[in-house]
Chain A
Amino acid sequence: MHKKTIRDRSLDLLIYLFLLLVGVITLLPIANVLSKAVSDESAVISGKVGILPVGFQLQTMKYVISSSQFITSIGISMLVMIVGTVLAIALTALTAYPLSKRNLPGISFIMLLFIFTMLFNGGIIPNYLLMKELHLINSLWSLILPALISVFNMLVIKSYYESLPESLEESAKIDGASNFTILFRIVIPLSGPVLATIALFYAVYYWNDYFNPMLYINDAGLKPLQLYLRDIVMDADSSSAMNKSADDMMNVSPEGVRSATVIASIIPMLLVYPYLQKHFVKGVLIGSVKG
């Protein structure tokens, strides 16, 4: 390895500084919302709060976090995310496995069926009617079931399975392993990174899902966080103000409360992201190179 010259180093420094600057810029809006959440409401209204809080207080945060609707919503979101992700990854991994065996009879037809759903689907109203007939309106299953198998994710796992050397499975078979043993003891353990990545995709999907709950959930006690958040943030929006009576106008959430709700709801994701990010990068890379 050759030694870095001063020129190289100063160039490195410059690049780092530049990247740091770009990074900081992307953080500015978040910093602004954060400061609004912990600033005095009067300062927020008079537009004094920029990146740093003015008149620091935690009252607003406390109010938001202790509101029962917020706690319920975050609980619902967690529940949907955890149950959804676990089921989705299990089903997706199990679906991908037989499809990765190209010599099975009829496999290309079944593949075609899957691909078909990627291109065509029923649309909102038929889906809604389906959910209604299944009695899933106002049930959290309506948020979990429709997204259990994403064909795209399934294909990623499938191509990863296909990249595993066939000789591994053959040798296991010679040692007397059944198909299930091969799947659970050999294939799945070897697919750790890709499964982790796909699990993350599912988790993020379930966490961020807004549209399904908007359609299928009417009970305020079952609203996930994203829906709750949208309602709160929309509260002062002029398009909804049009319908508001004097009573509603008196009850609009102040800007500080809205900012605090936004902050409180990104905290859980913010906490897990650093730990999961390495899987994200690794898993996506592995999939793309070998797949």
Chain B
Amino acid sequence: MAMNYKKWMMATLVGGLSVTSLVACSSTGTPGASSITPASKPSAEVSKATTEPKSDLKTLQIWQKDDYNTYPVAKYLEQKTGYKVQYDMLPQDKPEDKLNILIASGEPYDAITIYGSTDFKALYSDYAKKGALIELGPLIDKFGPNIKAVIDPEALEAAKVDGKLYAIPTKSISNVNTSLYIRQDWLEKVNMKSPTTLDELTAVLKAFKEKDPGGNGDKNIPLTVKGEAPFIDNIAGAFGIPNFWNNVNGKMTPRILDPAYPEYVNYVADLFKQGLLDKEYAANKDATAKEKFTSGKAGMILLNWSDVPTIADALTKNIPTAKASYISALKGEDGKAGLAAFRGFDRLTFIPKASKHPEDAMKWINAKLEKETFINMTIGEENKHYTLKDGTYTPIQPIFSEERNAANNFLTGSDDTNYPIYWQARVRKDMRLFEAWEFMNKKEPANTKVEDPLGFAPYLPEFSKSFQQLNTMVGDYTMKLVFGAEQLSGLDAFIAKFKSSGGEASYKEVNDWYTAAKK
């Protein structure tokens, strides 16, 4: 025991000593302190003092797995643009909270890049209105010729708050992401073709249930869907309601107010009643639905194309003879069909008032859009990271994945004409991925791709405020209708509730904007 006490006494003494020594270190700023204070700070000051003509920039980025500072793209950009940039990043969990603190406390970031989704757009607009951001118009006129040249003017227009531009938008590549994925070998076993209409879909699902192509007896699940998707993509499109808002006779109409809503609900509820839709639909998590599909219990699944390689791998490992592919956009009774395509901002990059080098930040953003720099930043160097043949960019692996996988996070505005073409190199890193993407986005007739009409809407306060809540409300209600816990006879009462919970105000606001924008 005596030994133990002695040890603890030693520990205390050492502790006491280390206080004094560490304090001494940090006050003189010797390298010894760098183990505990960020090494970047002293070095940043040193390089500023030397003859480096360009100032060092400090940026805040969204979360990614790898450290931005050590990522190959960062090195390339530093060498190409001449700006030494320190990249900080927001956490993955509740980035809004952190961002608010950083903006409120006036952290001197020279550029901040955030997501372009509705809630972040609301934050951006809020900061702009409160005067926390620098207006970019004059800076772009002086230092941003590339920005004017390559960024889609429509996107620039949509990023404006009260007629002034405060952020450089990075446009999303408009993709269809989700559709129904079917077991091709099951189809062959029941001797049917891939369904193209709703009636054919019902027939195929029935055959999957009755003819037992999966050999699961009565445990076959003809179609499994995760509970987070109360509106099943592709099926919803056949009723003309692929997006949250759809054009009904010239008015933007949310799904719940759409005349097609009851028809959609009836169709899906019928699938459910007949046992063609997973009994556990509402309880399914994304992972559970995937489990059911990859273990060979389910014949169809609602799937994002980005999941195809992992799902296909797992499926063939479990059932070597299995084959699966996407079905085309289903046609409804009056020939309607549609797949929801994303449209809007992927990122927004703004310069806060607290920035110490707004002009340099703008020059840096502009330099990144230089044609050669931009292509190298996003997909690398020709014949090292990719090959170019007949206008097709094909990645060279594994170096492409190692050095450019996270390149999209370095975007601060993009060459909106060419980037969608370069970008395909990123999908070609796995041919199955590419085929899945290509099927939905290129092979399907163009009119089945229905872009979110609100993608480039400006910040709409009423809509932003109630969007989440209304979305959940409608989702829950739709689920209950499908399960028979609610009846369509109560729809009017629900619509009244929907309108009073902010639905009415959103509707008016969205349509006011829509009619004004059409002119």
Assess A45 versus B38: contact at CB under 8 Å? Given A138-B88, A192-B5, A214-B98.
no
Residue count of chain B within 8 Å CB distance of chain A? 79
Residues of A within 8 A of B66 (CB): 69, 220
Q: A231 contacts B36, CB within 8 Å?
A: no
Q: Can you name the residue of chain A whose Cβ is closest to the Cβ of B41? A: A138
Interface residues on A, range: 35 or more
Give CA–CA (A236, B286) in the complex, Å.
Answer: 10
Task: Give the residues from 231 to 290 in chain A that come closer than 8 angstroms, CB to CB, to chain B.
Answer: 231-232, 234-236, 238, 240, 242-243, 245-255
Q: B8 contacts A196, CB within 8 Å?
A: yes
Q: B408 contacts A192, CB within 8 Å?
A: no
Q: A230 contacts B92, CB within 8 Å?
A: yes
B233 to chain A: closest CB distance in Å?
Answer: 15
Q: A47 contacts B288, CB within 8 Å?
A: yes
For B111-141 the 0/1 string (1 means CB < 8 A from A) is: 0000101001000000000000000000000
Q: A195 contacts B346, CB within 8 Å?
A: no
Give CA–CA (A43, B70) in the complex, Å.
Answer: 34
- Interface secondary structure of B, over-half rule: helix
Assess A254 versus B310: contact at CB under 8 Å? Given A69-B66, A227-B91.
yes
Residues of A within 8 A of B286 (CB): 236, 238
Whether A215 is near chain B, meaning CB under 8 Å from some CB there, is yes
Give CA–CA (A243, B120) in the complex, Å.
Answer: 9
- The A-B contact count (CB < 8 A) is 185
Whether A128 is near chain B, meaning CB under 8 Å from some CB there, is yes
Q: Can you name the residue of chain B whose Cβ is closest to the Cβ of A230? A: B93
Interface-located stretch among B207-215, B290-298, B485-493, B495-503: B290-298
Interface-located stretch among B14-22, B189-197, B198-206, B264-272: B14-22
Interface-located stretch among A13-21, A82-90, A105-113: A82-90
Give CA–CA (A243, B408) in the complex, Å.
Answer: 14
Contact of B9 among A42, A138, A188 (CB under 8 A): A188
Query: Most chain-B Cβ atoms within 10 A of its Cβ — which of A42, A79, A230, A238?
Result: A42
Contact of A141 among B37, B68, B91, B313 (CB under 8 A): B37
Whether A62 is near chain B, meaning CB under 8 Å from some CB there, is no
Residues of B within 8 A of A246 (CB): 173, 175, 177, 306, 342
Give CA–CA (A128, B9) in the complex, Å.
Answer: 35
Q: A47 contacts B291, CB within 8 Å?
A: yes
Q: Can you name the residue of chain A whose Cβ is closest to the Cβ of B120? A: A243
Residues of B within 8 A of A247 (CB): 408, 426
Whether B519 is near chain A, meaning CB under 8 Å from some CB there, is no
Whether B388 is near chain A, meaning CB under 8 Å from some CB there, is no
Give CA–CA (A43, B318) in the complex, Å.
Answer: 8
Residues of A within 8 A of B470 (CB): none
Whether B384 is near chain A, meaning CB under 8 Å from some CB there, is no
Whether A125 is near chain B, meaning CB under 8 Å from some CB there, is yes
Give CA–CA (A192, B69) in the complex, Å.
Answer: 45
Q: A221 contacts B67, CB within 8 Å?
A: yes
Contact of B426 among A68, A79, A128, A250 (CB under 8 A): A250
Residues of A within 8 A of B314 (CB): 41-43, 45-46
Q: A45 contacts B88, CB within 8 Å?
A: no
Assess A219 versus B117: contact at CB under 8 Å? Given A189-B6, A195-B12, A255-B287.
no
- The interface of chain A, by Cβ under 8 A from chain B, is 40-43, 45-48, 68-69, 72, 79, 83, 86-87, 89-91, 93-94, 124-125, 128-129, 132, 137-141, 184, 188-190, 192, 195-196, 199, 214-215, 218-222, 227, 230-232, 234-236, 238, 240, 242-243, 245-255
- The interface of chain B, by Cβ under 8 A from chain A, is 1, 4-6, 8-9, 11-16, 18-19, 22, 26, 35-38, 40-41, 60, 62-63, 65-70, 86-93, 98, 101-102, 104-105, 107, 115, 117, 120, 172-173, 175, 177, 228, 286-288, 290-292, 294-295, 304, 306-307, 310-311, 313-315, 317-318, 342, 346, 405-406, 408, 426-427, 433
28 A-B pairs, CB-CB below 8 angstroms? Answer: A42-B294, A42-B314, A45-B290, A45-B291, A45-B311, A46-B295, A47-B288, A68-B70, A69-B66, A83-B18, A89-B15, A91-B15, A124-B101, A141-B26, A188-B8, A188-B9, A188-B12, A189-B5, A192-B1, A214-B98, A215-B98, A218-B88, A219-B69, A231-B93, A232-B65, A235-B65, A238-B286, A251-B65
